[in-house]
Amino acid sequence: MRRQQLMAEVNRAYENGDEAKLRAILADLHDSPDAVEGEGVGADLIRVIRKIAQIQKRLNEIDSEIQQLNASDLNLLRTQIVDLEKQERDGFKDMASNAEKQIKDARRRLSALTKAVEKT
């Protein structure tokens, strides 16, 4: 199963011309605990160290993904809504009201520009 998944990743990266991904896959294979040959305490220790390194790498990736999600526009909107709800305000209603005001202002500016163009 793991081999099929790995080959699918390699094929996707190859089709997309993603050399960096291909290199990352190769590095992961090279650094894999499964790549350690031999038996005994030494080989087992190397496998454990590599497994810990894999886990640490994945934790770093997850941390990066969380930071990206927290910085996203959708999360910023969610944060604003939650803050407004804490103030017992309806965030969506406030946003709709604000959007309506912006539309009215834009229509007023358009009307003024249209009148100015008609005068010339």
Measured distance CA(102)–CA(10) in Å, rounded: 50
pLDDT, tens only, 50-102: 999 999 999 999 999 999 999 999 999 899 889 988 998 888 888 899 999 99
Q: Are 53 and 31 in contact (CB under 8 A)?
A: yes
Helices (H), the chain: 2-15, 19-30, 41-70, 73-86, 91-119
Q: Name the residue ranges covered by the structural domains of the chain.
A: 1-30, 73-119
pTM: 0.56
The tens digit of pLDDT for each residue in 1-57 reads 678 888 898 899 999 998 999 998 888 888 888 888 889 999 899 999 999 999 999
Tokens of 82: 């939650």
Q: Which of 67, 68, 93 is nearest to 80 (CA)?
A: 93
